[in-house]
C-alpha cells in the first residue's frame, strides 16, 4: 500500500507477532542496536508457539543434516536456504545458554534422530528448556490451556524481551504494509484500540505472524482436503500472507500443513478441535526388520499400544492409523474425494475402540492459547465423552454399522480382518507397527467421528537465506523480512521440533538483517496530530 502521509510513531524495526519467531527477532535486532517495537494482535502473548511440545531440533553436524533436509523437503527449498538453517541450529545451544543467564533456565540436550531414514537422519538432537526457577505456567500464562513444554521455552524468551526493555504492544493488529512509491517498505498501518495508526520503520518490518490455521477460506482455496479445524489458535488468519502478496510476494509450500485427525468439540461455539491421543513418534527402519521401531531398540520403555482403528464412511479401514509422525501426516489419507458419490470418502472417519481400549487412556487432549475460550477436559476413562456425544456406545458390530450408516457385512469383515492381523502380529493392509496393534474383541464398542485437524501451516511468502521476502520474480522486497512458520521451509515432510528451531534460527537472521539494513528512512516525520490515512493511495 503506497503511503504519502505522516506517521504517528517511528522505530527502527517493527516485528509483527509475539511467538517464538517474533521474540527471537526482537531480541536479535535489539542486540544489534535497533529500537524495536513488537506488535501482537491478541491481548496476550505466545502465539501458536507457546502450545508446542517444546523440543527444539538442532543439528550435530552440517553435512549429514543438510543431506537429510534436502530429502525431507523434496528439494522444494533452495539449498542455500537449508544450509543457513542448519548452520543456525548449530549455534542454538550457545544462544539458549546465553539467554538462560537472565532467569537461570536449565538447558539440556537429548539425542533424537530424525523422523525418516533418509541419509543424515542421525545428525540431529533435541534442545530442551527443562525448567525455569520459580516459574508457574498456570499463573503466568493462564490463557494457555493444556500447556506443554512450549510455555517454559516461551518464558525464557519472554524474560529476555522484558530484560531488554523491548516494547510489546498487545491487541494491536497489522493491517497493511506501507511503502513509498518506489516499493520500499516504510512501515505498517495497524489497528490498535479501534484506531488506525501509521507506524514508521526506519530500517525494516519483520513478519512473524504465523500462518493460516484459522482462515478457512484460505484453506478451502489452497488445499484439496478443503478444511482442517485448528487445534491451537484462532489468531493465525493469513494476515502476513495477504499483506506480503499485496507487495507482489511469491508463495511456496502452501499445500503442506502439520496436522492429524481429531474430534470436534461438543461445544458448537468452540473454535478449537480436540487432538486425538498423542503417541510417541517412531522412525521406520531402512533394513530388513521393518517391524522394529528404532527409537525403542535400545530402550527399556514399554512400546505403546494404539487402542483404536479408523474406518471410512463405507466401513472399511483406509490408512495406517499410526504413521511414523502421526501429528504431521495423520490427516493426509482423509484427502480422498469419491467422484461417483460426490463426497470425501473418509470425512468424517470413525474411530472405534472396544471396552479394553476405552480403559487404556483418554482418547483426546486439547491444547490452545486463548483467554476467551474454555477448554474441554477429556475424562480419564472416556465415559463422560459418551454423555457429551463425542463417543457413542455400541453393543455389537450391527450397532456400529448402524451408527456409521455402513453395510454390516463390510464393517464386520473389516473388524474381523483387523483382529486376525493382531493375532498374526502384522498389519498386512497398511503396515501399522506391530507393537501398536490391539484387537477389537471385547464389547461394548465405542465410536466417534474424527476429522482432519491442523496444528500449523507451512506455506507463505518465499524468502531467501537472509529472510528477505521475495517477489514472484525472485527479487527482494526492500525492507520486508519474515521469520517463523510464515513461509516455512517445510515443503514435503516435516522434521519434528524444527518449526521451533526455524522460529529461532530465522528470527535471529531476520533480526540481524533488519537491524543492519541501514537508516534510509531517518528523515521520516513523526506526526503528533491524528494520522492522515486518507493520504494513502
Residues 328 and 431 in one domain: yes
Q: Is 378 among the domain residues?
A: yes
Residues 270 and 300 in one domain: yes
Confidence band (pLDDT; 50, 70, 90) for 111?
Answer: confident
Q: 213 exposed, middle or buried (CB, 10 Å; 0-12, 13-18, 19+)? A: buried
Residues 130 and 230 in one domain: yes
Q: What is the pLDDT of residues 277-335, one digit of tens each?
A: 999 999 887 443 444 444 443 444 566 799 999 999 999 999 999 999 999 999 999 99
Using the 3D structure, point to which of 399, 423, 454 is the last residue of a domain. Answer: 454
Residues 313 and 438 in one domain: yes
User: What confidence score (pLDDT) does residue 19 get?
Assistant: 98
H helices present in 113-271, as ranges: 137-140, 150-163, 216-222, 239-246
Task: Please state, in angstroms and as integers, the Cα–Cα distance from residue 65 to each residue in 31, 107, 120, following that order.
Answer: 29, 22, 5
User: What confidence score (pLDDT) does residue 532 get?
Assistant: 33
The percentage of residues in the chain with a pLDDT greater than 90, rounded to a whole number, is 90
C-alpha cell at 222: 489452497
Q: Is 234 among the domain residues?
A: yes
How many separate helices (H) and strands (E) can be counted in the chain?
A: 14, 25
Number of domains in the chain: 2
User: What confidence score (pLDDT) does residue 536 get?
Assistant: 40
Residues 241 and 275 in one domain: no
Whole-number Å distance between alpha carbons of 43 and 142: 12
Across the chain, mean pLDDT equals 93
Cis peptide before 444 (omega within 30 of 0): yes
Residues 263 and 239 in one domain: no
Q: Which of 207, 81, 162, 268 is nearest to 469 (CA)?
A: 207
Higher pLDDT, 310 or 111: 310
Residues 208 and 312 in one domain: no
User: What confidence score (pLDDT) does residue 537 get?
Assistant: 35
Judge whether residue 265 has pLDDT over 60: yes
User: What confidence score (pLDDT) does residue 479 get?
Assistant: 98
Confidence band (pLDDT; 50, 70, 90) for 157?
Answer: very high
Q: Is 85 helix (H, G, I), strand (E, B) or coil?
A: helix
Q: Is 279 among the domain residues?
A: yes
For residue 257, what are the β-bridge partners?
A: 457
Judge whether residue 120 has pLDDT over 60: yes
Q: What are phi and psi of 273, to 5 degrees?
A: -80, 175
Judge whether residue 535 has pLDDT over 80: no
Q: What is the pLDDT of residues 417-426, one digit of tens each?
A: 999 999 999 9
Once rounded to an integer, what is the mean pLDDT over residues 228-248? 97
Q: What are phi and psi of 353, to 5 degrees?
A: -130, 160
Residues 249 and 319 in one domain: no
The percentage of residues in the chain with a pLDDT greater than 70, rounded to a whole number, is 93
Instruction: Give me the CATH number covering residue 266.
Output: 3.90.700.10
For residue 111, what are the β-bridge partners?
A: 125
Residues 248 and 108 in one domain: yes
In this structure, are residues 362 and 446 in contact, taking their beta carbons and an 8 Å threshold?
no
User: What confidence score (pLDDT) does residue 528 get?
Assistant: 30
Residue with cell 536456504: 81
Residues 450 and 466 in one domain: no
Using the 3D structure, point to which of 415, 438, 454 is the last residue of a domain. Answer: 454
Q: 420 exposed, middle or buried (CB, 10 Å; 0-12, 13-18, 19+)? A: exposed
Q: At a CB cut-off of 8 Å and minimum separation 6, what does 424 contact?
A: none
Q: Is 536 among the domain residues?
A: no
User: What confidence score (pLDDT) does residue 301 get?
Assistant: 55
Q: Is 363 among the domain residues?
A: yes
Q: Is 537 among the domain residues?
A: no
Q: Is 1 among the domain residues?
A: no
Residues 401 and 309 in one domain: yes
DSSP state for residue 265 in the 8-state scheme? P
Instruction: Give me the CATH number covering residue 163.
Output: 3.50.50.60
Judge whether residue 73 has pLDDT over 50: yes
Judge whether residue 227 has pLDDT over 80: yes
Q: What is the pLDDT of residues 379-397, one digit of tens each?
A: 999 999 999 999 999 999 9
SS3 per residue for 399-438: HHHHHHCCCHHHHHHHHHHHHHHHHHCCCCCCCCCHHHCC
Residues 232 and 277 in one domain: no
Once rounded to an integer, what is the mean pLDDT over residues 467-493? 97
User: What confidence score (pLDDT) does residue 285 get?
Assistant: 74
Using the 3D structure, point to which of 436, 454, 472 is the last residue of a domain. Answer: 454
In this structure, are residues 365 and 320 in contact, taking their beta carbons and an 8 Å threshold?
no
Domain that holds residue 417: 259-454
Q: Is 382 among the domain residues?
A: yes
Q: What is the pLDDT of residues 18-63, one digit of tens each?
A: 999 999 999 999 999 999 999 999 999 999 999 999 999 999 999 9
Amino acid at each position: 500500500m503506497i503511503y504519502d502521509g505522516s506517521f504517528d510513531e517511528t522505530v527502527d524495526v517493527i516485528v509483527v507477532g509475539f511467538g517464538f519467531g517474533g521474540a527471537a527477532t526482537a531480541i536479535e535486532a535489539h542486540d544489534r542496536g535497533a529500537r524495536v517495537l513488537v506488535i501482537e494482535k491478541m491481548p496476550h502473548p505466545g502465539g501458536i508457539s507457546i502450545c508446542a511440545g517444546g523440543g527444539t531440533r538442532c543439528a550435530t553436524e552440517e553435512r549429514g543434516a543438510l543431506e537429510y533436509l534436502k530429502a525431507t523437503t523434496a528439494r522444494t527449498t533452495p539449498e542455500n536456504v537449508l544450509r543457513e538453517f542448519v548452520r543456525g541450529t548449530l549455534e542454538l545451544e550457545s544462544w539458549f545458554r546465553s539467554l538462560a543467564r537472565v532467569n537461570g533456565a536449565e538447558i539440556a540436550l537429548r539425542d533424537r534422530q530424525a523422523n525418516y531414514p533418509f541419509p543424515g537422519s542421525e545428525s540431529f538432537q533435541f534442545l530442551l528448556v527443562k525448567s525455569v526457577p520459580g516459574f508457574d505456567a498456570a499463573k503466568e500464562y493462564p490463557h494457555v490451556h493444556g500447556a506443554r513444554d512450549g510455555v517454559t521455552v516461551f518464558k525464557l524468551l519472554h524474560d529476555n524481551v522484558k530484560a531488554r526493555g523491548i516494547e510489546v504492544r498487545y491487541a494491536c493488529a497489522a493491517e497493511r504494509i506501507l511503502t513509498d512509491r518506489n516499493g520500499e517498505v516504510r512501515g505498517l498501518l495497524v489497528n490498535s484500540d479501534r484506531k488506525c495508526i501509521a507506524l514508521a520503520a526506519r530500517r525494516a518490518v519483520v513478519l512473524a505472524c504465523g500462518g493460516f490455521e484459522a482462515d478457512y477460506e484460505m484453506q478451502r482455496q489452497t488445499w484439496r482436503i478443503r478444511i482442517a479445524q485448528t487445534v491451537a489458535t484462532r489468531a493465525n488468519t493469513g494476515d502476513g500472507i495477504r499483506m506480503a502478496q499485496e507487495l507482489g510476494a511469491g508463495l511456496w509450500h502452501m499445500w503442506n500443513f502439520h496436522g492429524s485427525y481429531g474430534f470436534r468439540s461438543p461445544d458448537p461455539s468452540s473454535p478449537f478441535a480436540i487432538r486425538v491421543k498423542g503417541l510417541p513418534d517412531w522412525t521406520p527402519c531402512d533394513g530388513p526388520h521393518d517391524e522394529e521401531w528404532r527409537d525403542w531398540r535400545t530402550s527399556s520403555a514399554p512400546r505403546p499400544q494404539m487402542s483404536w482403528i479408523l474406518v471410512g464412511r463405507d466401513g472399511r479401514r483406509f490408512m495406517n492409523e499410526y504413521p511414523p509422525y502421526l501429528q504431521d501426516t495423520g490427516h493426509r489419507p482423509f484427502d480422498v474425494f469419491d467422484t461417483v458419490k460426490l463426497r470425501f470418502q473418509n470425512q468424517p472417519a470413525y474411530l472405534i475402540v472396544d471396552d479394553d481400549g476405552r480403559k487404556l487412556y483418554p482418547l483426546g487432549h486439547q491444547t490452545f492459547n486463548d483467554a476467551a475460550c474454555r477448554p474441554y477436559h477429556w475424562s480419564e476413562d472416556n465415559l463422560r465423552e459418551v454423555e457429551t456425544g463425542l463417543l457413542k456406545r455400541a453393543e455389537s458390530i450391527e450397532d456400529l454399522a448402524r451408527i456409521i450408516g455402513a453395510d454390516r457385512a463390510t464393517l464386520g469383515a473389516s473388524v474381523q480382518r483387523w483382529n486376525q492381523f493382531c493375532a498374526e502380529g502384522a498389519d498386512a493392509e497398511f503396515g501399522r507397527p506391530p507393537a501398536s496393534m490391539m484387537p477389537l474383541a471385547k464389547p461394548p464398542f465405542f465410536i466417534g467421528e474424527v476429522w482432519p485437524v491442523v496444528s500449523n501451516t507451512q506455506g507463505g511468502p518465499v524468502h531467501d537465506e537472509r529472510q528477505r521476502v521475495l517477489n514472484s520474480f525472485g527479487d527482494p522486497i526492500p525492507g520486508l523480512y519474515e521469520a517463523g512458520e510464515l513461509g516455512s521451509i517445510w515443503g514435503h515432510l516435516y522434521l519434528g521440533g524444527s518449526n521451533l528451531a526455524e522460529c529461532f534460527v530465522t528470527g535471529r537472521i531476520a533480526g540481524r538483517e533488519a537491524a543492519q539494513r541501514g537508516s534510509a528512512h531517518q528523515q521520516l516525520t513523526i506526526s503528533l496530530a491524528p494520522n492522515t490515512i486518507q493520504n494513502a493511495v
